[in-house]
Amino acid sequence: MRILLALTMVSSMVLAGCGGLRDSRVNPANWFGKSVSRPVAAGPSETVNPLIPVKEESIFRRNKTEVYDGTPVDQITDLRIERTRDGAIIRVTGLSTRQGAFDVRLVSDSKGEPVNGVLSYKLMALQPDNTPQGPAVARTLHAAEFISTQTLAEARTIVVTGARNERRSTR
């Protein structure tokens, strides 16, 4: 009888301690799976005049805003989400149309905040027009972005979009 009572007490304490696993790294529901590639629908192209400033400067304040003139990378070949102690790192590999692309960035569509559980980015780079196409190894680009634990808790899907496809990873 004492063994049965002791076994019941120990099992009830172990079961009560399992409630904290919901938010831990041990729970597989909190891990992102492998990414999946999907084609991107062609959207309307925007024509922007680089000679017209977006924001006017005044004499009294000289805040210069940085303008990034990157264009979407042709294809997204790999998307990995690696967990860290303070959140996660999104690592993206892309393939540009021509070699010589530089200043590769992951640009957030929604200022780094998830919209309806979806955290979306575009892989952008400054790409010259007058370089040869070259082999795929010379056209491969890498970029990474850190996301905090708070942002990661609100996101169920991470999407990275290129010019021809997108990769998404869900949990």
- Statement: residue 106 has pLDDT above 90: yes
- For residues 47-57, give the mean pLDDT: 64
Distance CA(90)–CA(163), nearest Å, equals 19
Are 152 and 88 within 8 A, CB to CB? yes
Distance from chain centroid for Cα 69: 20
SS (H, E, C) 99-153: CCCEEEEEEECCCCCCECCEEEEEEEEECCCCCCCCCHHHHEEEEEEEEEHHHHH
In the structure encoding, which two tokens stand for residue 130, read together? 């007058």
Q: What is the mean pLDDT of residues 51-78?
A: 74
Predicted confidence (pLDDT) per residue in 127-167, tens digit: 888 888 889 999 999 999 999 999 988 899 999 999 999 99
What does the pLDDT look like over 16-39, one tens digit per residue?
A: 666 666 666 666 666 777 777 788
